[in-house]
Amino acid sequence: TAVATACLPVLGRDVRVPLVTGGEVEYAALDYAASAPALQRVWDDIAAYAPYYGSVHRGAGYLSQLSTDLFENSRATVAEFLGCRADDQVVFTRATTDSLNLLASVLPAGTDVYVFETEHHAALLPWQQREDVEVHYLSAPRSPRAAVEVLEAALAARTGDGPALLCVTGASNVTGELWPVRELAAAAHRHGARIVLDAAQLAPHHPVSVAELDVDWVAFSGHKLYAPFGAGVLAGRADWLQAAEPYLAGGGASRKVARRADGGVDVEWHTTAARHEAGSPNVIGAYAIASACKALTEAGFDRLVERERELIARVRDGLAAVPEVKVLSLFGDDADRVGVLSFVVDGWNSSHFAAALSAEYGIGVRDGLFCAHPLLRELLGADDSEQGECGAPEAEPGERSLNAIRISFGAGTPDEHVDRFVSAVR
């Protein structure tokens, strides 16, 4: 049956690609989890603003004032979209990886960081760059409830009473499964720890409320939220952000700089989000994110969520009819998922399978280990000696490959793309 809600207009829907079997088809972009196409509305907003582009926070002229207003209003729109608390700060970054590295850079010395080994590398790795914090890797939970139990046990075993932070994903970029964020936040706070939500995959598919989920920070990327123009967000508590040195030192972050009599330089840093936004800001990127936030809200995010649920159910039903297909899951069949799903096919190397979907059907999916190597090893039952890379490892046809195929879609995906995928797999 056709899903009730129509997809939103996005760029790239008119791209046609040649098939090895002859002829051409409309390209089916089913790799939204890597980067989603721009919403037409986002593109239109940017095109309307582009002639008025000017420097932000740096000029007295009309266009500079207009761009500064646009940039600051974008911050307010994002805060509203994320359901931020009144005193939260919204910092514009390059993307989620940048946001989480920024947060890692401001952690108080001695912070205990907790992170599940199943996380995307962007959430797994930034913390170990700091030599003065201790990272505790939590073992892969096989249910949402187990995730809370594993965290509780780890926090209960803490000996010190210094600061602690949990970094956790809201939705997996591999399985699409939703994590119990509210429960994890409650558990973290019960033990005096804070929590940052990696919403790179959650925010494009699901309304996120910082206040309701009671998370301390949230990070996401514009290019996965239909705004692929080089910006991302870290939003949340101001205290750690403002107590630390700026992420980047330079103009824009500094309020007052003066030479000292001894020849050195005294710097007074801003205490707003600007503290961590040194250099000329990406006003187009920030405006694009704000535009996408508005577009999703106006389209009725709940309807989009419902539509995606119907589409993912259709994919799962379709794949269930193919005995060679194994869908990867950490939490089991009952888990709630966004429009992201990974699988392997018996007798096929995943890279070759993905290449065939592209060459024979015009379908663009992702293959590989999705920058979550420990998770892929867990899901594929591989041991550490089996090597894989983030890209597409080479293997002979029929040879076991430590990689999988991922389909992901969203608000711009028409039913036909999903149906073409299911029949191609069949």
Stretch that binds ligand PMP, among 117-125, 133-141, 246-254, 391-399 (CB under 6 A): 117-125
Stretch that binds ligand PMP, among 49-57, 124-132, 182-190, 198-206 (CB under 6 A): 198-206
Q: CB nearer to ligand PMP: give 164 or 174.
A: 174
Q: What tokens does 392 get?
A: 């597409």
As beta bridge partners, residue 112 has 134, 164
As beta bridge partners, residue 10 has 39
Residue number closest to ligand PMP, CB atom: 173
* CA angle in degrees (0–180, nearest 5) for 183-112-217: 50
Print the binding letters for residues 120-159 with ligand PMP: x by CB under 6 A, - otherwise: x-xx------------------------------------
CB of 345 to ligand PMP, least distance (A): 22
Task: Judge contact between 299 and 8, C-beta under 8 A.
Answer: yes
User: Taking Cα atoms as reference points, which of 226, 229, 93, 113 lies closest to residue 165?
Assistant: 113
| Range 77-110 burial, b when 16+ CB lie within 10 A, else e | bbbebbbbeeebbbbbbbbbbbbbbbbbbbbeee
User: Taking Cα atoms as reference points, which of 225, 208, 405, 201 lies closest to residue 315?
Assistant: 405
Stretch that binds ligand PMP, among 5-13, 119-127, 253-261, 283-291 (CB under 6 A): 119-127
The residue written with tokens 């209960």 in the block is: 156
Report the first-to-last Cα separation within the chain, whole angstroms. Answer: 18
Count of all residues that appear for the chain in the document = 426
Which of 68, 74, 96, 101 is in the footprint of ligand PMP by CB under 6 A?
A: 96
Residues 6+ apart with CB under 8 A from 85: 210, 211
201 binds ligand PMP (CB under 6 A): yes
Which of 88, 177, 198, 367 is in the footprint of ligand PMP by CB under 6 A?
A: 198
Residues 6+ apart with CB under 8 A from 247: 101, 102, 105, 106, 276, 278
CB of 127 to ligand PMP, least distance (A): 14
Q: Report H helices in 362-425.
A: 373-380, 415-425
Report the C-alpha gap between 304 and 306 in whole angstroms.
5
95 binds ligand PMP (CB under 6 A): yes
Number of residues that bind ligand PMP (CB under 6 A): 15
Print the binding letters for residues 219-258 with ligand PMP: x by CB under 6 A, - otherwise: --x-x-----------------------------------
Report the C-alpha gap between 27 and 358 in whole angstroms.
9
Element (H, E) at 219: strand 217-221
Residue 223's Cβ-side half-sphere holds a number of Cα atoms within 13 Å equal to 13
Contacts (CB under 6 A) with ligand PMP, residues 165-184: 169, 173
Q: Is 349 helix (H, G, I), strand (E, B) or coil?
A: coil
Which of 97, 111, 329, 401 is in the footprint of ligand PMP by CB under 6 A?
A: 97
Print the binding letters for residues 30-69 with ligand PMP: x by CB under 6 A, - otherwise: ---x------------------------------------
Stretch that binds ligand PMP, among 196-204, 236-244, 269-277, 399-407 (CB under 6 A): 196-204
Stretch that binds ligand PMP, among 116-124, 142-150, 262-270, 300-308 (CB under 6 A): 116-124
118 binds ligand PMP (CB under 6 A): no
CB of 151 to ligand PMP, least distance (A): 18
Just list the catalytic residues.
371
Print the binding letters for residues 310-349 with ligand PMP: x by CB under 6 A, - otherwise: ----------------------------------------
Which of 135, 188, 200, 289 is in the footprint of ligand PMP by CB under 6 A?
A: 200
Q: CB nearer to ligand PMP: give 106 or 371.
A: 371
Residues that bind ligand PMP (CB under 6 A): 33, 95-97, 120, 122-123, 169, 173, 198, 200-201, 221, 223, 371
